[in-house]
Structure 1
């Protein structure tokens, strides 16, 4: 790697992903589709075009095939606080982006309520407004008070920021086909400059009207065969796809400190424009070469470091040769000593998502790094004579396989080029070669212990569906740690009114496989269900600190060793008590004789309660009210800030000594 790469100081971590793509309702399904080399293109659903001047049974040239989503009209408006009347006028692209943003945050372990009012940015690539076209067919009667906000493309990003209460930059990006990858570039730059602490970034497109398809068909962009033949001799245009994807970005240094799961890092990126070319929509090889070189410079990598590039790769007779020449000049030929550069295009699997194509390609690379395999690029049989792969030192990845050199850092590029000339290239890599900072991670209890799996939802039906999805997940992944499942449910999910707690009992080992049978909420004997009152409007939890009688020998010892936050708090309490007692806090916890003494028991209980409160706070549970009895009053005063730790230790130690005297 080049020494110019600034490591943690400039790298942006990808900590969460979500997607809704043809035949792929989420990242796991998308990876299965890619890994298995599946083709998600199908005939256009007969009911897709709705009211149209064209015959759905005999679509115009190029509109017969595509990559489509199911249920694009379905949306849980109440979940996002949107009335049914307003939701009916809100562009499904806004609705889908809301869902994907929430799911990406969940994947990142970020509870939306905890980032409300913070400087989180939202950057979404979008450039279609098919839903507005559909509604306007009904004339002036279809316009409501919600039409203005429901149909504007700029509102796609703004709707997310508003719903989640985010105060960072909120931008809908339109640079045609490169929109969503340009959104990634803009988001990374915004995070680096400190404009936002983290960012929700993606792209979305839904092909709802036949007019847009006819425009592309008459422009000559669509393949009559309904497939993308990227770099193949059969290249004759592209097939349209639809859907969306969202990623959550964060500075790498902060992600490591926070203990986030990091899929990969974005090292650097660049954007430019073709300038004058042979036509407004004709690519410029020199500009594409320049944007790739500039991205490498920003990322601090050399051509030899790149093992794979996800192409723009539309499968057009004009675009493919120009892209091959640019990539060959910037990467392929300079790395000839390391073998041919592997290339591919996700468009061969799911079609061209146009403004969302870049994020789809980026997500493919993220998953390829995460799984350490490069998926096959489909529909490649014989190279186009104008592409000249050998001359450019390029090789199409025709089967799913490991990375060319897994002993070296996995580094890849992603290209996306807009029809009007806006180009973007992003450099992505694994984290392995970046110096890892010390991260603060909570420990876990050792050995067997009861586990509580907490579920919540806005409705009883949604709660049951959550349990069914979790049950299917743990059944399919029996190797998943049961403790990790319980931890994630307790600390990284929003809490709603309808709740269920599954008590898993004593589990030996970490496997979650045994949990699957407990997650049938209707028949499981270990489920507690209920509806919480005042959720969303209440002040928050109440911490109750008891007096004597709640203690037991050995309390807190296992937690002291397993949970760093609790252990550090107990150590501070021990230091604060030291001037007033002649015993060791840690040793007395295991001494039944000493724990019977009031002048020992009360300070020990105070220390445990204060430390437990600190542990709860570390996972986001902050009390709105505290109340206590006896030494619990002193603990409550310390937790509320009424007493310092030193004053609390002095009061509890001297008070308990006075009681004995």
Structure 2
């Protein structure tokens, strides 16, 4: 049975590769199935030549000059947020981007960010280590600011501090499940009365190319710079960046305040693979248990879910195991004509790691807003790991109209992290007219 006064999304903002920094721009890129990736940034001091030669080492995979990078990751106005330039440079750019996107999410909800001092508002932000800045155990011009500049608790902390919020301020790192974990924690806190409303989001800005080195050694990077989730041509993942922040509150409060309701958070759940396989190997059984648990908490049948935003990294291990779980739950009933459509924004923008689930969730919410299921790239030739004749699940190969059920569109978002954590969310979106603020 669904709750009578659900937690809803009342505002949101996004930063995605390809210069995308508005909801309208993000939707246009998704609807047009645009490639948002590009070459490595040349202004971060990375050893590009060495990166591109890693494949010459025995046992290492090729690294393409490609990724999903934020065009404005270094842009920041410290004075606007009451910071000195020296302190701003010492701050992990994930703090800067997270702060900037949180401000825009509040504005999207029709809330004046400068009016919130003293409010018991929660802030829950997902982020992982990306190796920014000099080591703390050395003398440099940023010594004295490194403690707060490199602290991951300061990603939500900067938002709370800049806005004067006094509610919970919590960083979460469940690797690539961090986005949905943050939403789970924020929604749970609102339901428990820990805060009246909250900001929930995630951010990923690569302070170094360390992830490319790691996955080159693991031979899990795409050698041609294309992330092709669930495709027969999938040959590895592609790292990316991004950020997204949601404004969450009870539906009664949103209506009383005149806020738009983008969607209801029907249920979120988080679990772990447990032991057995190596820690980085996903578990189909754990993911299936999680999906079934989330559906039970949402109080809807699996057949209601018409859009699934999967994790979909394009890797030889991850995608087949995820598809096994998804087809077992969402592809077991109905027919191919009316079955759910599956995709992954990683095909557009690369794998934004801790922020990947947030980019996917905002994709779902915008699809609901516009009444159309956004396509996933490289879906024309689905992987042979699935018997597509035996499941109603299909890849979203093109932009498709989305017919609501009794005025509501239902969708699911799935994420799992390299340390074994899985997260799943089910949202319901009222079929309303497009918001001019989008």
**TM-score bin, normalised by smaller chain:** over 0.9
Alpha-carbon distance between aligned partners in 2 of 1:247 and 1:74, rounded to the nearest angstrom: 22
Contact persistence 2:376–2:398 (CA under 8 A): yes
Q: Which moved more, 1:313-322 or 1:56-65?
A: 56-65
Q: Is 1:388 the equivalent of 2:387?
A: yes
1:123 is matched with: 124
1:387 positional shift: 2.6
Alpha-carbon distance between aligned partners in 1 of 2:52 and 2:384, rounded to the nearest angstrom: 37
Give the 5 Å matches for 1:262-281.
Answer: 262-281=261-280
Alpha-carbon distance between aligned partners in 2 of 1:350 and 1:70, rounded to the nearest angstrom: 12
2:3 is matched with: 6
Contact persistence 1:97–1:204 (CA under 8 A): yes
1:551 is matched with: none
2:30 is matched with: 34
Please identify the structure whose Cα radius of gyration is greater: 1
Alpha-carbon distance between aligned partners in 2 of 1:113 and 1:283, rounded to the nearest angstrom: 43
1:219 is matched with: 218
1:209 is matched with: 208
Alpha-carbon distance between aligned partners in 2 of 1:154 and 1:138, rounded to the nearest angstrom: 20
Alpha-carbon distance between aligned partners in 1 of 2:220 and 2:129, rounded to the nearest angstrom: 16
1:242 is matched with: 241
Q: Is 1:352 the equivalent of 2:348?
A: no
Alpha-carbon distance between aligned partners in 2 of 1:359 and 1:100, rounded to the nearest angstrom: 12
Contact persistence 2:105–2:245 (CA under 8 A): yes
Contact persistence 1:325–1:392 (CA under 8 A): no
Which 4+ stretches in 1 moved above 6 angstroms?
A: none
Give the 5 Å matches for 1:360-509.
Answer: 360-404=359-403, 409-431=408-430
Alpha-carbon distance between aligned partners in 2 of 1:137 and 1:32, rounded to the nearest angstrom: 42
1:273 positional shift: 0.7
1:223 positional shift: 0.8
| 3-state SS of paired residue (1:248) | strand
Distance 1:63 1:161, change over 3 A: farther
1:157 is matched with: 156
1:65 is matched with: 66
User: Could you list the per-position Cα deviations for residues 545-571 of structure 1 after superposition, in whole angstroms to 9, with x for gaps in the alignment?
Assistant: xxxxxxxxxxxxxxxxxxxxxxxxxxx
Q: Is 1:84 the equivalent of 2:85?
A: yes
Distance 1:15 1:54, change over 3 A: same
Alpha-carbon distance between aligned partners in 2 of 1:278 and 1:51, rounded to the nearest angstrom: 34
Alpha-carbon distance between aligned partners in 2 of 1:212 and 1:426, rounded to the nearest angstrom: 27
| 3-state SS of paired residue (2:411) | strand
1:94 is matched with: 95
Distance 1:404 1:390, change over 3 A: farther
State how many pairs are aligned. Answer: 429
Aligned residues: CA RMSD: 2.3
1:522 is matched with: none
| 3-state SS of paired residue (1:246) | strand
1:211 positional shift: 2.5
Alpha-carbon distance between aligned partners in 2 of 1:206 and 1:63, rounded to the nearest angstrom: 19
2:14 is matched with: 19
Q: Which moved more, 1:281-290 or 1:407-416?
A: 407-416
1:230 positional shift: 1.0
Alpha-carbon distance between aligned partners in 1 of 2:306 and 2:130, rounded to the nearest angstrom: 37
User: Could you list the per-position Cα deviations for residues 10-29 of structure 1 after superposition, in whole angstroms to 9, with x for gaps in the alignment?
Assistant: x2111111111112122111
| 3-state SS of paired residue (1:19) | strand
| 3-state SS of paired residue (1:131) | coil
1:362 positional shift: 0.2
Q: Is 1:199 the equivalent of 2:198?
A: yes
Alpha-carbon distance between aligned partners in 1 of 2:136 and 2:210, rounded to the nearest angstrom: 12
| 3-state SS of paired residue (2:203) | strand
Alpha-carbon distance between aligned partners in 2 of 1:299 and 1:350, rounded to the nearest angstrom: 30
1:251 positional shift: 0.7
Contact persistence 2:412–2:425 (CA under 8 A): yes
Contact persistence 1:129–1:151 (CA under 8 A): no
Contact persistence 2:204–2:241 (CA under 8 A): yes
Alpha-carbon distance between aligned partners in 2 of 1:269 and 1:369, rounded to the nearest angstrom: 18
Contact persistence 2:331–2:392 (CA under 8 A): yes
User: Could you list the per-position Cα deviations for residues 384-441 of structure 1 after superposition, in whole angstroms to 9, with x for gaps in the alignment?
Assistant: 21133332321000001111556652000000111121111101111369xxxxxxxx
1:54 positional shift: 5.3
2:230 is matched with: 231
Alpha-carbon distance between aligned partners in 1 of 2:235 and 2:48, rounded to the nearest angstrom: 27
Give the 5 Å matches for 1:597-616.
Answer: none
1:348 positional shift: 0.4
1:591 is matched with: none
1:351 positional shift: 0.6
1:176 is matched with: 175
2:76 is matched with: 75
Contact persistence 1:136–1:142 (CA under 8 A): no
Contact persistence 2:2–2:299 (CA under 8 A): yes
Contact persistence 1:228–1:235 (CA under 8 A): yes
Alpha-carbon distance between aligned partners in 2 of 1:7 and 1:218, rounded to the nearest angstrom: 50
TM-score of the pair, normalised by structure 1: 0.62
Contact persistence 1:231–1:387 (CA under 8 A): no
Name structure 1 gaps, 5 residues minimum. Answer: 434-476, 486-661
2:187 is matched with: 188
Q: Which has the higher contact order (CA 8 A, sep 6+)?
A: 2
Distance 1:302 1:85, change over 3 A: same
| 3-state SS of paired residue (1:186) | helix
